[in-house]
């Protein structure tokens, strides 16, 4: 009886070692499905962005952008972008 029990535990040891990875993958799958569902069920935007065909520039940027640093620090990294303009067709050349 002892040897058969040891053999049974030896046989199920390998599948049980994959159980934590399976739970992790299942968790990632459920989070991804929730995000996709939220995106697909989101309301449509009524008005799209207005495009001014007579504008002097194709792109105008003037803003402050913030994000967290790669390491855990108490402050946020802030980048101040100097306002710039991109002429029409400049990005396609």
Residue 24's pLDDT is what? Answer: 95
Q: What is the pTM of this model?
A: 0.44
User: pLDDT by residue for the chain (93 residues), tens digit each?
Assistant: 767 888 888 888 888 889 999 999 999 999 999 999 999 998 887 777 777 788 777 777 777 777 665 555 555 555 555 666 667 666 654
Nearest one of 90, 33, 28, 32 to 56, comparing CA atoms: 90
Domain ranges of the chain: 2-40, 59-92
Residue 56's pLDDT is what? Answer: 79
Residue 30's pLDDT is what? Answer: 97
């Amino acid at each position: 009886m002892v040897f058969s029990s040891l053999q049974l535990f030896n046989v199920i040891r390998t599948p049980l070692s994959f159980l934590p990875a399976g739970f992790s993958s299942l968790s990632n799958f459920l989070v991804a499905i929730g995000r996709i569902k939220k995106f697909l069920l989101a309301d449509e935007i009524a008005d799209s962005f207005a495009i001014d065909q007579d504008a002097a520039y194709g792109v105008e940027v003037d803003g402050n952008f913030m994000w967290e640093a790669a390491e855990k620090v108490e402050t946020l990294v802030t980048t101040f972008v100097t306002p710039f303009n991109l002429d029409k067709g400049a990005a396609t050349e």
